[in-house]
Amino acid sequence: MDAALRGSQLTKIVLITAADGYRVAFTLAEFDPAFGNARVILADTRDGKPLDAKEGPFRLIVEGDKRPGRWIRQITRIELLDAAPQR
């Protein structure tokens, strides 16, 4: 991201959904080095092998989170949503 991440861009949310309906959310700013600089890994392999059905096809790993509540597995959807109220 760049200097354009300001104003209305700060109302964007990344919503991630798992196969079992579990969902986690991040603000877009959390990923920007000028704001949160969160290091988030979207993994599709472990030790060079594809993730098994229990974890895959994708798994999210959030470095720096003190609890792994946002470490979501079996990801089926990633959405970019606007949290600003509709006028």
Q: How many Cβ atoms are within 10 Å of 14's Cβ, its own excluded?
A: 16
Domain map (residue ranges) of the chain: 7-82
**How far is the C-alpha of 23 from the C-alpha of 25, rounded, in Å?**
7
In tens digits, what is the pLDDT along the chain, a chain of 87 residues?
Answer: 556 677 888 889 999 999 999 999 999 888 888 888 888 999 999 999 999 999 999 999 999 888 988 999 999 999 999 987 776
pTM over 0.95: no
